[in-house]
Amino acid sequence: MGIINVTPDSFSDGGLYLSAQQAIAHAKHLIDEGADILDIGGESTRPGSQQVSIDEELNRVIPVLEALADSQIPLSVDTSKPEVMKHAIAAGAFMINDVNALRNPGALEAVAPHEQVQICLMHMQGTPQTMQANPQYYDIVQEVKDFLQQRIQAAKSAGIAEERLVIDPGFGFGKTLQHNFTLLNQLDQLTSLGVPLLAGLSRKSMLGAITGNSANYRIHESIAAALLAVVKGAKIVRVHDVKATKEALAIHNAMRNCAAQEINVSTSNRN
């Protein structure tokens, strides 16, 4: 899943138009790099970021969605606002990626009737404005797991089939460095929830905390993290660097496929 941010560059006179054009050009670049899904977001969810209005978010996201509608690639929209979800679905979104796991009033109802739309339910403690102030857990893995199980149940109770759901532990969303790495180490514990796992680690500060690199220079650590997440059971990785991540994951796939063939060979030899 390639990341497309549509957040206006405050240094640019082109404002919203230019950010949309940049986002569309970047989306095409990530498609060329081999992205399988694009995730388009019009509101930053970084720690301390400010919320934008519904209209502002729609003005950012919808033109990009519309411009990419013919590109054949499944488009995800990263939003927690029910109004944005409805418009994004009407404009052709294949997935709603909600860092708030459909907890906002009206969010479950906004997506439930659209049977072709997938939903990513992410764990977050607090809100992007406050989440890194003092994150606390008695057992990070168990609490994230319990939360995701509850949100799966809430979605199912609202009429959303389990096949439409993807879950995400929300790396960096209300978690200390230790919480994040404990979660990564035990990511496989979430696979027993029976829903595909998405992991977003790309360029996050937990990686910079280890290497000391600033966000734009965290490519190697992002690829390592994506690979580890996949080894631990992630089915989708949300990344900035699509080509490099795909090439790293191709090696993992080759290893798995060869291992599977070896098992086939040794079982057929027994017959």
Which of 60, 81, 86, 238 does the annotation list as catalytic?
A: 238
Among 30, 65, 89, 99, binds ligand 9MG (CB under 6 A): 99
Rounded to an integer, what distance in angstroms lies between the CA atom of residue 25 and that of residue 21? Answer: 6
Establish whether 238 is a catalytic residue.
yes
List b or e across 121-151, with b for residues whose CB sees 16 or more CB atoms inside 10 angstroms: bbbbbebbeebbeebebeebbeebbebbbeb
Beta bridge partners of 61: none
Among 23, 122, 195, 230, binds ligand 9MG (CB under 6 A): 122
Q: Which of residues 197-236 bind ligand 9MG (CB under 6 A)?
A: 198, 200
Establish whether 218 is a catalytic residue.
no
- For ligand 9MG, the closer of residues 97 and 132 by Cβ is 97
> How far apart are CB 260 and ligand 9MG at their closest, in Å?
29
**Residue with the shortest CB distance to ligand 9MG:** 200
Q: Which of residues 2-61 bind ligand 9MG (CB under 6 A)?
A: 41, 45
| Contact status, residue 121 vs residue 148, Cβ threshold 8 Å | yes
> Can you list the pairs that 187-190 forms with residues at least 24 positions away whose Cβ atoms lie under 8 Å?
187/229, 187/232, 187/233, 187/234, 188/232, 188/233, 189/141, 189/145, 190/141, 190/144, 190/145, 190/148, 190/233
Is 241 an interacting residue with respect to ligand 9MG (CB under 6 A)?
Answer: no
Q: Which of residues 154-173 bind ligand 9MG (CB under 6 A)?
A: 168, 170-171
Which of 81, 204, 232, 246 does the annotation list as catalytic?
A: 204
What are the C-alpha distances in Å from 245 to residues 7, 120, 122, 191? Answer: 24, 21, 22, 22
> How far apart are CB 171 and ligand 9MG at their closest, in Å?
5
Q: Mind telling me the catalytic residues?
A: 204, 238
Which residues contact ligand 9MG by CB under 6 A?
41, 45, 78, 97, 99, 120, 122, 168, 170-171, 198, 200, 238
